Chain A
C-alpha cells in the first residue's frame, strides 16, 4: 500500500522583476527574422522578466545543442523550473539534464534513480541541495520517500520531519495561494510519510498518532483516511477500520472513488469471522461494480491515447458538462480533487496568463517566436493533463480489476472457513454474540450517528461489532 507514487509539482514564485529583461532581449534579438534558438542570453534576459513557460522550448533546445551551461544560465533554468514545475522537463534525457546544476534537475534525476531503486545515488543527489532553495521542502520529501523505500524508516521519519519544518517555513513566506497550497500539501504528505514510516516499522500506534497530525481539511486526508483504516486493521481494531471506511459514505467524500475501500471492509468482517457480512460485501461488489467497471474499460479502449479528448472531457466536466458514463463521471470527480491534477491545472493557468501577457507585447520577431513557444507549451500541458486524466482512469480500472480478485479471494476464504467448520462438524452458532448484533444494519454500526455526517466526526466512527471467531 506504500507503493503509490506521489506526484509533486514544483512551483516557484512568479518573478516580479522589471520588464527590462524583455526590452533588452528585444533590442538584441527582436530585430532579426532569424531563429532565436540556442541563445543563452535570450533565456537569461527573458526569464529575468518573468517569462517562463515561453522559454521552455528554448531551454530544452539549448540543452540539446550545447554541452556546457554556465552559472548564469544555470540559475535562469532553475528559475524557470521553479516557476513552471519539473513535470515538463522530466522527459528529457539524463545526458541533457546532467548539464544543469540545478536542485530541480537533481530532483528530476533523483526520482529516476529512485524508480530504479538506486537509493544511495538519490541520497547523494539530494543531500547537496541547500535548505534555502525553494525546492528544498520537496527535496526532503523525496529524500524521506527514498529512505522509506530503502527500509530506513528512522531516516525517513527524520527526512519527513525536515520536510514538514521546511514546508511550514516556506508557507509562512509565500503569498501566492496556489504555491502555498502546494507547500501545504507537501507538508501533509510528509506528515503522512512519518505515519507510513512508523507503519513500515510495525509501530502502528505511533503511526495512528502521526496520522492524526494530518488535518481533516487537507486535500490528501480522504486518501490518508484509507491508510488509517489499514493501520487500525493492523492494530486488529476492525471496528475502527470499518468506522473509518464508512466515512467514505459521507456526501462530502463522494468524490473518493476507491474500490479497495470495499475490499478492506470485507477483510475486516472476515477477521471478525462475520463471514456472511464479508461475503455479502463481496457479492454486492460484483453486482454493483462489475458491469460499470467493464463500461469504464470499454470507454478507455474506445478512446485510445487521444489525450486531447481526455483534456476536453475534463475541461467540459469542469465547465459543468457531465459525461453519461457513471464511472467516467466518478473518475473525473475524483481527479478533480487530485493534488497532482490541481498542480498541473494550475501550471496551465499560469501558462495561459503568460500567453496573454505576451499577446500584449509589441509586435516583433521575439514576440512572434515567444508566441509560438507558448502555444507549444500550452498544447503540451493540455496533452499532459489529458494523459493524466486517462492514466487516472486506467489506474481506476486496474484498482477495480485487483479489487475483483481480492473479493474473490475473500469469498473463497469465507467458503473455506465455512467448510472447515463443517469438517470439524461444528454447527454454526450465531448466538454467541448478543442479540443486538444479529439483526443489524449499517445505521446501527455507528455510535453517535443520527443519519448525518458531521464534518468533525468524519473518520472517527467506530463500529460496535463483536467478533464471532
Chain B
C-alpha cells in the first residue's frame, strides 16, 4: 500500500550552530541510528532487492558521516597548531570516513545492481557528495555530472546537484560550465542562499567577460540583500561591483552607484583594489586603480592612487608598472605634492625595488633568460636613478649601485662607465669607500670574459691608471702593473710600457721574473723592428743593474743576440749571397758567445753550403763537425741532407769519406729510432766492400749489432759480405759467418751455393770426408728449403738434381750393355728384361723432373730417349740365327710391332723435352743433343775469351 515515502536529504549546511549543538547532534545521531536499524531490517526483509531501501541506507550513512565529520572537525580544530602538525589527521576522522564508506558501498551497490533505478540520479548525487566529503573531488565531480544527466528536470534534488556542480566549476574556473547550472539552480530555488549563489553566478559572468549580465546580477543581489529573507551580501557587492563596472567600461555608473550610497569613489576604488588585492586578484585591482587614475583630476588624490598602485604592483610583482608609478611619484615629489609619510613610503619602495631587482640580477636567477635579466638590470638602474633623485647626497653611491647592477647583468662596458663615474664622483665628494668599491668593480668588469676585447682595450689604461693612482705597492698593484703593461704593449704604447716597467722595477725591485717578462716583450718589439740599438740599450740597462734579471734570463738574452746574428746570415743566404753566409756561419761557429746549438747549426749549414759549392772535402769535414755538435735527434732530423752529402761523396769517388760519413751517421743514430739508420749501414758496408775494406766491413758489422737493425737487413748485408769473403778466400771469416747464418733456417737456400764453393775447395785440398759432410749439409739445406717453400737459387737446384743423375746413367748403361740372343726363349726373356728396365728408367727420370732443375731434366731426358732408341734399334736389327727365311721374315714382321712403338715413344719424349726447354728457357749443355737435327749433334757455339767483367767498385 505504502510504496514509497519521499525522503528529503537534509543538508548539513542547514545546521544552525547554537549552544546546544552537541546534545542536538546526539539526538539527531540517535535518530539516524534508529533509521539505519530500520532500513537494515527493511533491506533484509526485501533481500536487498529494493533500490529505494539501498538508497535510503546510503543517504543515512552520508548524513551520519557528515555529523561525525562536523564533530571530528571541531575536535581537530581545537588542537593547538603544534599538536595539529604532529597529529595523524586521518585518525581524527575515522568515524566520518567509516560512514562515508558505508554510504559509498550502499550507493555503489545500488548503482551497479539497479542501473535503471528511477532515482539513480540521486544515487549519483549521494556518491558525489560522499566523495566531496571524503575529499576526492575528482570522483565527486564525475558522480555529480552523472547525477545531473540522470536526474529529471523537475526533480527537487536537481537544483542541489546543479548548485554543487556549479560550485565545483566555479572553483575550477570553468565559468562557462558553471553559468547554466547556477542559472538553472537559482531559477528553481529561492531560499536565503539565493544571494550567495547569484553572487557566484555574477562572478562567473564577470569571468567570461559578460560584464553587463554580471553587473545586473550584482545589483539584484544588492537589492535582495536588504531583505531579511536573504543572506546579506551588500558589502561583498560594494567591494566587487566596482571591478565589474570598471571592466565593463561603465565607470560613470560605478561612480553613481557608490554616490548613491554616499561612498567616496576614489577611496572606495582604492579600498576595493586593496581588498581585491588581498584576495590575490591583482588584475582587477590594477584595472580599478588605472581607471581611477584616469578619472581622478586632483593631484593629491592622484598621489593616493599612485601610492595604492605602488603597493599593488609591489605585491603583484608588476615591476614595470611599479617603476612607472614610482617615476610619476618622484616627479610629483619634486612638486612637493607628497607628504612625509608618502615620501618615506616612496623612498622605501624605490630602494627596496632597486635592491630586489639588483639582487635578482646578481643571483643569476634569470641568467639563462637574457632578455629578462637585461630588463631587470635596466629597471634596477632606473630605480637607483630615482633613488639618487630622492637622496642627492647618495649620488655616487647610487651610481655605484647602478654600476654593480650592470656588472651583474654582464653589461661590462656600461658597468665600467658607471664605475668610472662613481669613482670620479666619489673622489670629488671625498667618499673613499665608494672610490675603493668602484675601483674593485671596474677591475672586475674589465676582467669579465664577456667584455669585447676591443672595448676592453680602451678601458685598461684609464682603469689601471686610476687604480695605480691610489695604490702602487700592494700585491694587487703588482698585478695591475702587469696588466697595464700588457695593455700598453697591446696598444703598442712602448713608451708607456717603458714607464710602467720603470715604475714597476722601482716598486718591485726583487721581482726578476716580471721584469724579465716585461723586458722580453719590449726587446722583442725592438728586435722585430730591427731596432738593435734599443735592444742593446736594454742589455746595457740590465748590465748596469737598473733591471734585475736571473742568470738564465741573461743567458737567454745572449742567445737572443746569437739568434739575431743567425737571422742575419740566413737573410744573406736567402738573397743568394753564399760567400757572406759562409763567413757569417764561420763567425758564429768560432764566436765564444755562440751557444752549442748555434754552433751545431752553423757547422751543419757550413757542410750544406760547401756541398752546394761542390767542395767535397770541406763538406765532409763540416759534416763530421756537425755530427759531433749535433745530438742524435737533430741528426735524424737532418739525415736526408746527410744522406745526400754521403751519396755525393760516393759519386765523386770519395769512397772512404762517403763510407766514413755513412758509418758515423749510423753510429750517431745507432741508439735512436730512424728509418735512415739501415740505409746508413748498408751504404757504409757496401761502399767499404766496393773499396775492398773487408776488415773495416767486419768491424762495422760487429759494431752494428747493438744498433737494433732489422734482421732482414743484417742478413741481406751478411750474404753480400759472405760472397766477398769467399771471393777473397777469407775462409775462416767466411766459415764463421756461414756458421752464424745457418743458425737460422731462413738462410738454408742461400747457403747451398756458398757451401758448394767450400766443398769444391775441400775436394781440391783432398779432404773428401769433409767435402761429403758439406754435401750432406747441402742436401739437408735443400730438403728443408723445399719444406719451407723458400726460393732456392736455380744453380743450387741444378746442383742438387745433377747429383742424382748417377743412377740414371747406370740404368741406361745396363740396358745398352745386355744383348738379345736366340733361341727364342732366351730372346723373349732378354726383351722382357729390357722393357722392364726401360720402365724403371722412366720412373727415375720422372723423379728428377720433379726437382725442377732444367739441366737435370734435359740430361735425364736425353738418357731416356737414347735408351728407348737403342732398344728399338737392337730389336729392329736382330735376325734369328739358323732359321729359314720364312721364319726370319715372320719373326721380323712380328718384332716390328715391338720396336715401332718404342721408337715412336722416343720421338714423343724428344718432343716433350723440347717443349719443356722452350717453355722454361732452360740453358743446359745437353740442349743441343736433344734439340739438334740428326747430323748436327756435334756442332756447338762458344764465347770469346775477351769478355769484360765489372766488379762492384766499377773497376775491372
Residues of A within 8 A of B (CB): 1, 260, 263-264, 267, 401-402, 404-406, 408-413, 415-416, 418-420, 422-423, 425
Contact = CB atoms under 8 A, between A and B. Distances in A.
B8 A1 contact: no
A267 B2 CA distance: 9
Q: Which 4 A-B pairs have the closest CB atoms?
A: A408-B42, A406-B2, A419-B31, A415-B35
B1 A419 contact: no
Contact of A405 (B8, B16, B34, B42): B42
A413 to B, nearest CB: 5
Interface in B367-406: none
Given A410-B2, A423-B15, A415 B31 contact: yes
B687 to A, nearest CB: 130
Contacts of A423: 10, 14-15, 28
8 contacts: A260-B1, A263-B1, A409-B4, A412-B7, A412-B38, A419-B10, A419-B28, A420-B8
A260 B45 CA distance: 17
B24 interface: yes
A418 B10 contact: no
Contacts of A401: 45
A408 B28 contact: no
Interface string B1-41: 11011011010001110100000100110011011001101
Nearest to A406: B2
Given A422-B28, A423-B14, 11 more contacts: A264-B1, A404-B45, A406-B2, A410-B2, A415-B38, A416-B5, A419-B10, A419-B32, A419-B35, A422-B24, A423-B15
Nearest to B18: A425
Most chain A beta-carbon neighbours within 10 Å: one of B2, B10, B34 = B2
B353 interface: no
A290 to B, nearest CB: 10
A409 B8 contact: no
Contacts of A260: 1
B38 A405 contact: no
Contacts of A425: 16, 18, 24
B46 A415 contact: no
A412 B7 CA distance: 9
A416 B27 contact: no
A258 to B, nearest CB: 11
Given A404-B45, A408-B41, A412-B38, A422 B1 contact: no
Contacts of A410: 2, 5
Contacts of B158: none
Given A415-B35, A419-B10, A419-B31, A405 B45 contact: yes
A287 to B, nearest CB: 13
Given A401-B45, A405-B42, A405-B45, A416 B8 contact: yes
A416 B7 contact: yes
Nearest to A418: B31
B682 interface: no
Contacts of B38: 408, 411-412, 415
B887 to A, nearest CB: 142
A382 B214 CA distance: 82
Nearest to B56: A412
Nearest to A279: B34
A410 B18 CA distance: 30
B47 to A, nearest CB: 11
Contacts of B10: 419-420, 423
A416 B2 contact: no
Contacts, number: 62
B943 to A, nearest CB: 146
A416 B10 CA distance: 10
B5 to A, nearest CB: 5
Contacts of B1: 1, 260, 263-264, 402, 406
Interface string B779-810: 00000000000000000000000000000000
B6 to A, nearest CB: 9
A264 B1 CA distance: 9
A86 B24 CA distance: 65
Nearest to A260: B1
Given A404-B45, A423-B15, A412 B35 contact: yes
Contacts of B24: 422, 425
B16 A408 contact: no
Nearest to A413: B5
Contact of A263 (B2, B15, B28, B32): B2
A418 B34 CA distance: 11
B7 to A, nearest CB: 6
Contacts of B28: 419, 422-423
A418 to B, nearest CB: 5
Contacts of A419: 10, 28, 31-32, 35
Given A404-B45, A423-B14, A423-B15, A412 B39 contact: yes
A333 B56 CA distance: 39
Nearest to B24: A422
A418 B5 CA distance: 15
B5 A409 contact: yes
Contacts of B42: 405, 408-409, 412
Contacts of B27: 422
Contacts of A411: 38
B33 to A, nearest CB: 10
A418 B8 CA distance: 13
A338 B32 CA distance: 43
Contacts of B32: 419
A7 to B, nearest CB: 21
A402 B42 CA distance: 11
Contact of B34 (A267, A404, A409, A415): A415
A292 to B, nearest CB: 16
Contacts of A267: 2
A422 B34 CA distance: 15
Nearest to B28: A422
Contacts of B2: 263, 267, 405-406, 409-410
Contacts of B7: 412, 416
A425 B27 CA distance: 11
A422 B31 contact: yes
Contact of B46 (A263, A405, A412, A418): A405
Contacts of B41: 408
A455 B18 CA distance: 57
Contacts of A406: 1-2
Contacts of B31: 415, 418-419, 422
A415 B64 CA distance: 14
A408 B45 contact: yes
A27 to B, nearest CB: 62
A269 B648 CA distance: 145
Nearest to A403: B1
A448 B889 CA distance: 188
B45 A416 contact: no
A324 B10 CA distance: 49
B21 to A, nearest CB: 10
Contact of A416 (B14, B16, B35): B35
A419 B27 CA distance: 8
Contacts of A416: 5, 7-8, 35
B5 A412 contact: yes
A260 B15 CA distance: 37
Nearest to B40: A408
A238 to B, nearest CB: 15
Contacts of A402: 1
B8 to A, nearest CB: 7
A415 B5 CA distance: 12
B31 to A, nearest CB: 5
B9 to A, nearest CB: 10
Contacts of A263: 1-2
A101 B7 CA distance: 55
Nearest to B12: A423
Contacts of A404: 45
A357 to B, nearest CB: 48
Contacts of B5: 409-410, 412-413, 416
From B18, B28, B31, name the one whose CB has the most chain A CB atoms within 10 angstroms. B31
